[in-house]
Amino acid sequence: VRSVMHKHLEKMGEVTFDKIFNQRLGYLLFKEYCETLYDEPIPHVQFYEEIKKYEKLETVEERRQTAREIYDNFIMKELLSHTHNYSKDVVDHVQKYLMRKEVPVNLFQPYIAEVFNHLRGDLFRMFIESDKYTRFCQWKNLELNIQLTMNDFSVHRIIGRGGFGEVYGCRKADTGKMYAMKCLDKKRIKMKQGETLALNERIMLSLVSTGEDCPFIVCMTYAFQTPDKLCFILDLMNGGDLHYHLSQHGVFSEEEMRFYASEVTLGLEHMHKRYVVYRDLKPANILLDEHGHCRISDLGLACDFSKKKPHASVGTHGYMAPEVLSKGTAYDYSADWFSLGCMLYKLLKG
């Protein structure tokens, strides 16, 4: 199991410190490995845990007391013994706020970045060779093959609506990882005769979400159904869409558009290599993540052209290529490049 799953996880870009550490079980196994490796707890892990506890405190008084304890136990103590392996900038940052008696929630955030830099080095490479990582692979193997239900997720607030249902933020119960859950209402699908569209979206998501991972498409991780809903578990994107940012902040600069255009181009190429034409490229379908990177979303109108070229006139007016608008004319992925040009013009000129 370890060998097979390790190859799969490597191919999917999942064998990185950040990916494993930010999953609940991955974090616990890494912490357990650190505790068994040395008699003394790894100070970086302890430090990280204390910072996360501090960030959950609600009152200023609690944060003030805890901040002082963290500073005394993990920063001042090491400074006095000359074992504090962090940059002067992060020390100065914390000291500046504490001297003013200010304790913002993100007071120790610069330290977390440096803690991660320490942990993702030799310690993480040794973890990958350990039996704890073998357990992680066994768990991932089980996760990929398990039959999921709604009970496996903690569902949060609505983050979007569509023609057939809603999109919710959700957390997977066993890993703690956040996703977007797209729930399509079966009654609404039947009423609007959308069975073909719903099934097509499921197939297209499977096509683009398998094989080598593409960071510029909102991919599907799981899919399941309840008696009244079809549920797709997708990458969570919480930075809004480009249409929203255009309406709120005005047109984009050429530098910004070069950045977004390059990422959208890579996303389209990923689809085209799998003989999928997207057909609905527009600012509202380009979502941003928390780091400002964009992904193509909503594959409801995407189409597989591996066996037969499509000729249906579908998409959003203003972004559709001439061959798509021309009834009965067959086309392929070239239609997406025309739509990309229209979208870039819209974002640059409004």
Q: What is the pLDDT of residues 311-347, one digit of tens each?
A: 999 999 999 999 999 988 999 999 999 999 999 999 9
DSSP string, 284-310: GGEEE-TTS-EEE---TT-EE-SSS--
Share of the chain above pLDDT 70, in %: 96
Q: Would you state the pLDDT for residue 333?
A: 94
Helix residue ranges per DSSP H, 100-163: 109-119, 122-128, 131-145
From CA 6, how far away is CA 4, in angstroms rounded? 6
Q: Would you state the pLDDT for residue 261?
A: 97
What's the whole-number average pLDDT of the chain? 90
Contacts from 195-199 at CB under 8 Å and sequence distance 24+?
A: 197/164, 197/300, 197/301, 198/164, 198/230
DSSP string, 234-276: E----S-BHHHHHHHH-PPPHHHHHHHHHHHHHHHHHHHHTTE
Q: Would you state the pLDDT for residue 213?
A: 59
Q: Is 57 left (phi over 0), alpha (psi -120 to 50) or beta?
A: beta
Q: Would you state the pLDDT for residue 245?
A: 95
User: What DSSP state is assigned to residue 229?
Assistant: E
The single residue of 235, 280, 298, 336 carrying the catalytic annotation is 280
- E strands, the chain, in order: 153-161, 165-172, 178-185, 220-225, 229-234, 276-277, 286-288, 294-296, 303-304
Q: Would you state the pLDDT for residue 207?
A: 82
Q: What is the pLDDT of residues 127-142, one digit of tens each?
A: 999 999 999 988 887 7
Enter the pTM of the model.
0.59
Q: What would the mean pLDDT of 27-49 be, rounded to a whole number?
A: 82
Q: Would you state the pLDDT for residue 80?
A: 82
Closest by CA position to 72, among listed 81, 61, 60 = 81
Q: Would you state the pLDDT for residue 107?
A: 93
From CA 67, how far away is CA 33, in angstroms rounded? 28
Q: Would you state the pLDDT for residue 211?
A: 54
Q: Would you state the pLDDT for residue 252?
A: 96
Q: Which residues are annotated as a binding site for ATP?
A: 182
Longest dimension (CA), the chain: 78
Q: What would the mean pLDDT of 45-67 be, rounded to a whole number?
A: 90
Confidence of residue 178 (pLDDT cuts 50, 70, 90): very high
From CA 337, how far away is CA 240, in angstroms rounded? 23
From CA 259, how far away is CA 254, in angstroms rounded? 9
Q: Which residues are annotated as a binding site?
A: 182
Please determine, for residue 267, whether its predicted confidence score (pLDDT) is greater than 70: yes
Is residue 216 a contact partner of residue 263, using CB atoms and an 8 Å limit? yes
Q: What is the pLDDT of residues 200-228, one digit of tens each?
A: 898 898 888 865 557 799 998 888 899 99
The token duo for 173 is 């119960």
Please determine, for residue 22, whether its predicted confidence score (pLDDT) is greater than 60: yes
Residue ranges of domains in the chain, CATH in brackets: 2-141 (1.10.167.10), 148-234 (3.30.200.20), 242-349 (1.10.510.10)
Please determine, for residue 174, whether its predicted confidence score (pLDDT) is greater than 90: no
Please determine, for residue 285, whether its predicted confidence score (pLDDT) is greater than 70: yes
* For helices 109-119 and 43-55, angle between their N-to-C axes, nearest 10 degrees: 150
Is residue 198 a contact partner of residue 164, using CB atoms and an 8 Å limit? yes
Q: What is the pLDDT of residues 297-308, one digit of tens each?
A: 999 999 999 889
**Is residue 174 flagged as an active site residue?**
no
From CA 52, how far away is CA 127, in angstroms rounded? 22
The token duo for 326 is 């021309």
β-bridge mates for residue 166, sequence order = 161, 183
